[in-house]
Structure formats: structure tokens, C-alpha cells
Amino acid sequence: MPNYTLNIRRYSPESGEPAHWEKFEVEMEGHRPVLDAILYARNKVDGSIGIRCSCQAAICGSCGVRINGNPALACNTLLRDAVATAEDGITIDIEPMGNMPVIKDLIVDMDAVHWKKVQRVVPWLIPAGEPPEREYVVPHEAMVDVTQTMACIHCGVCVSDCLSMEADPDFVGPAASAKAYRFVGDPRDAATKDRLVHLAEDPSGIYDCTHCFKCVEVCPKGVAPMNQIMRLRRRATGDFQIKDRNNGYRHEKAFVNIIEKWGTLHEAKLLPDSYGEGLLGKLNPEAQKNLIGSAPTAIRGVLSGKVAPIKVLHHHKLPDQKKVKDIYEKIHGRDERIELNLYIVGEDADALEESAAVAVTEEGTS
């Protein structure tokens, strides 16, 4: 049977001792999960190892840890896969999730960060008027729309490595944002606009995400929190025209207008247009304040060589800008926005692949 070396980060805040790493040897088949190996070490070698777990089947969301630096469920990561990502090809590093205080060893304080943020988005349905005599009847498509967010098991794996949360611990974060979309997308909810105004106006709300994709990459349930944040933004800007104080609305509009006109991103125009549309908008005192405030960043960009003044001043349009305009016309010509729920598109894609495979087989046999 293969032998695995677990390198577990140990820390007990009340002991006053600094954190340290401890190695444990575990003999176990590679198809067993990392959680089994941690439990083996705890049951057979050192009963003081702190690990939280329950279902051992990727359902309860309690065994989130970092394995070789990446957040994951310990019960959902096989030993053979974990060792394949080990830095030295032998030792599996296991440490607590990030962005949350450590209670003991691999156990983090989910209440202090994750659950607090979930509470912030009012995670329950606010119905309009009295409940109906019998059940609410909801269109099938509406429930399909929120299915992806309903798959969240609140493991905190996405929270662990959210870059924006590292920079701004107040950021509402990926999991709570996905939860917010769960209700924003539900037609029974009567507080859609209030929810969106709150999330758009909050300096640590939906516009605080930097689109790093980490939450999409690590979520064990395919919730794709960043996609839900983008959908919240589209609802806030496209459906409710919420002109927030974070310039999220204007920034999006500036971006879209620039691409329509130039085909590529005209960086020198993006910032001023995000603060104020047209000359009048830029003369607005608030826009002036923001523009002056961002001057040092622009100067730093030029001094470090990241921004080339010549390129900034002479931005070229795409040679065939008409094709870009055609795309815009097609989208603007639609009666309503087509919202792609990637969770569902995945199933469609599978079906398409199947029919393509059948077509190929038929072609081959004819």
C-alpha cells in the first residue's frame, strides 16, 4: 500500500506558541480522500489535531482546508491527486483556509467572516404581500436561473483565496454574492431593487471584485461565484440603471462605448469617461475630484513604463471596426437580454457533443 506524508500546519492561538508544521506518515490507498488520511493521523498518532468534518461526502461543507496551497474540500480530494500537486512530489501540505481567523490547526472561524457576510445580503426571501393560499407558482426558467447558486454548500473554499477579500476584508465576497443572486434572481422576491442598490452602493460590494477567477476555479460545487457577481452587476446596470457612487455603472458604460467606437480598449479614455460622461460630466465636481485623485496612479504608470504616452495619445481603431459595430447592432436589436446560465449551458453542451458524436458515427458507417 502506498505511503503518504502529510505536512500539517499546527496552531493553537491560546497556547501562545507560534504556528509550526508537523509531518505524519500514513499508509493508505491513493483513491482514499485526504480527509481519511488526516483522520487516520488524528485517531492513530495525535488526537489533538484539529479538523472539522461531518458528511465525508462533499455535502456538509465543513472540511475546507488548503491542500498544497490551494483551497479544497479534504473529503473531495484524493490522496493520489493531492500528491501529484505536491511541491516535492511526496509531501502533501495541509493548512487552514485563508481570509478567516484560525481557531485551531485546520479549523477556521467561519462565523467571523463567511457567515457574517452571508447575513449581510439578507439570505432569505422577502415576499410581496400575503402568501398565497396554496403554493407559489414560479416559472420553470426562473428556478433554473437560480439553480447554480442553490448548489452552494457554504464551505468557504472560495472565500479562502479571494484576492479582493485579502485586499479589502470588508468585501462582501464570492459566496455571499452568490447567495445574493439566489434571491435577486427569484421572481417571488419583492426586494430585488433594494438588494441591488445596497450591493452596488456599498464600497465593498459587487464592484469590489477584480475578476481573478479564483472562486470559479476552486468551488467544488460549480457555483461560479464570479459569474453570479457579473449577473448582479448586469441586473444593477442594465435592468435598474443604478448609478452607484462607486462608478460601477459609468465604468461599464464607458467600457462598452469605447469598444463600440474603437474596437480595442482605449485606456486613456476609460478612466475619465468612467468618472463623467462627455465634457459636462467631466466638469462635475465629483468627477474632477476623482480624476485628480487618480493622477498619481497615471503618473506612476508612465514612470514605470507600463503606460506609453505615445500609444495613449494615438490610439488606433481596429481595421475592420464595422464587424464590431454589427455585433453591437445585433445585441441592441434584441427585445430582451439573453442571460446565459453557464450551469445549464454545460448540460446543453453535453447534449450537443452527444449528437455531434452520433452524427460522426453515422457518417463513418454510411
Binding interface with ligand SF4 (CB under 6 A)? 152-158, 162-164, 174-175, 178, 209-215, 219, 221, 223, 225-226, 229
Partner whose binding site includes residue 58, from ligand SF4, ligand FES, none (CB under 5 to 8 Å by kind): ligand FES
CA distance 160 to 70: 9
Closer residue to ligand FES in complex, CB, 51/146: 51
Binders of ligand FES among 24-53, rule CB under 6 A?
Answer: 53
Residues of 214-233 as b/e, b for ≥16 C-beta within 10 angstroms? Answer: bbbebbbbebbbbbbbbbbb
Contact assessment for residue 39 and residue 124, using Cβ atoms and an 8 Å cutoff: no
- Is residue 63 at the binding interface for ligand FES, with CB under 6 A as the rule? yes
Closer residue to ligand FES in complex, CB, 92/236: 92
Q: Helices marked H in the chain — which ranges?
A: 34-44, 79-84, 116-120, 140-150, 157-160, 163-167, 174-184, 192-201, 214-218, 225-234, 248-262, 267-275, 278-283, 285-303, 309-313, 321-332, 342-365
- DSSP secondary structure, 221-247, as one string: T---HHHHHHHHHHIIIIIT----TTS
Partner whose binding site includes residue 221, from ligand FES, ligand SF4, none (CB under 5 to 8 Å by kind): ligand SF4
Partner whose binding site includes residue 146, from ligand SF4, ligand FES, none (CB under 5 to 8 Å by kind): none
For residue 60, the 8-state DSSP code is: S
The only residue of 12, 28, 59, 188 in contact with ligand FES, by rule CB under 6 A: 59
- Cα 253 to the chain's mean position, in Å? 22
For residue 33, the 8-state DSSP code is: B
Partner whose binding site includes residue 164, from ligand FES, ligand SF4, none (CB under 5 to 8 Å by kind): ligand SF4
- Is residue 58 at the binding interface for ligand FES, with CB under 6 A as the rule? yes
Partner whose binding site includes residue 312, from ligand SF4, ligand FES, none (CB under 5 to 8 Å by kind): none
Binders of ligand FES among 68-107, rule CB under 6 A?
Answer: 73, 75
> At its nearest, how many Å lie between ligand FES and the CB of residue 75?
3
CA-closest candidate to residue 183, choices 120, 99, 131: 120
Closer residue to ligand SF4 in complex, CB, 26/215: 215
The residues binding ligand FES (CB under 6 A) are 53-56, 58-63, 73, 75
